[in-house]
Amino acid sequence: ITALPRSCVVIPCSFKTEDEYLTRLRVLWVNRKGGYMFHTDPVDVLDNFKGRTRLLGNPDEQNCTVEMDNVQTHDNGPFCFQAEKENDRYRFNNSCVFILMRGEET
């Protein structure tokens, strides 16, 4: 995904699972160090992402699309989608995204 510094970027995401797993499924987006860029519990989000990320998709509809506001040059990722249900965590390692920064137009 390409973004301009200080812009907003939408990371489209969908997943497939059995309907029985959708109830109370929590969406997580993690960085390479395992910190949360997005978590359904805002307390767990890394400080430099707090208030800048929000879930646009509905996990009940198997949509994990996330938005990041005020993109910074260090927000390059990778960011990987994960899902949690109770004590089970599902990693979608092929669902990692890098944000490539474009120089500002003059």
Q: Does 106 fall in a domain? A: no
Mean pLDDT (the chain, rounded):
89
pTM of the model: 0.87
C-alpha to C-alpha distance for 106 and 103, rounded to whole angstroms: 9
C-alpha to C-alpha distance for 29 and 58, rounded to whole angstroms: 14
How many independent structural domains does the chain possess?
1
pLDDT > 70 in the chain, percent: 96
Which residue range forms the structural domain that includes residue 61? 2-100
Q: For the residues 16-24, what does the mean pLDDT come to?
A: 80
Radius of gyration of the CA atoms of the chain, in A: 14
Give counts: helices (H), strands (E), the chain: 0, 9
Q: Is the pLDDT of residue 106 over 70?
A: no
CATH code (residue 10):
2.60.40.10
What one-letter code names the amino acid at 3?
Answer: A
- Asked if 93 contacts 3 with a C-beta cutoff of 8 angstroms, the reply is no
**Residue 87's pLDDT is what?**
82
Q: Does 60 fall in a domain? A: yes
Q: Is the pLDDT of residue 13 over 50?
A: yes
C-alpha to C-alpha distance for 27 and 15, rounded to whole angstroms: 11
